[in-house]
Chains A and B, each alone.
Chain A
């Protein structure tokens, strides 16, 4: 089945220790998104790639970076995680940006000690 896959499902890191979350998709979609979701809150868009074009949200901290080496994979790098970065990180894809449905992965729960 075509899908969006995120690894790992749970990630524990130490305060200030860089961490990378990964996302892969078999849908062959052009757009990949990273969202941060905290408990009982709406998903918050961090950035997205349309093909190789990177689009950063204005309020995304510099601490968050992303890479998309090819169509299938996208990575979220948190350079120096703080306690406030503990959250669920969701990867999503869409075919384009017209009227497209977003499809989400299972998420990675990040815990910062």
Chain B
């Protein structure tokens, strides 16, 4: 069964304290791995798409990486405005479905 697992469920960081969020996937062929940011009461906002192992994408304080089994979202020197839930989703080859994880709730303290 296709599955995406994110860890940790919740993470509290001090401002400037770098960390990484994990997205592990078990799917029948990966066509793409997507990262989204979701603020409370809002829809997910697209961050990155990764297609193949070894690929990296970077935007401001965020960097996403991909291996054959997992993806990481690295947050460097986070600020309070980075507080949000970060979702990852895997697009499967077999069913063309986006399988979402339950997200990591990040809180950055000033």
Contacts and interface: CB of A to CB of B under 8 A. Distances in A.
B44 A104 contact: yes
Given A42-B87, A98-B31, A99-B31, A104 B101 contact: no
Interface stretch (B45-53, B58-66, B75-83): B45-53
A68 B4 CA distance: 30
A88 B96 CA distance: 23
Nearest to B30: A99
A-side interface size class: 20 to 34
Interface in B52-110: 87, 89, 91, 96-98, 100-103, 105
Interface of B: 4, 31-32, 34, 36, 41-46, 49, 51, 87, 89, 91, 96-98, 100-103, 105
24 contacts: A6-B43, A40-B102, A40-B103, A42-B100, A42-B102, A42-B103, A45-B98, A88-B41, A90-B43, A90-B44, A97-B96, A98-B31, A99-B31, A99-B32, A99-B49, A99-B51, A101-B46, A102-B89, A102-B98, A103-B46, A105-B43, A106-B42, A106-B43, A107-B41
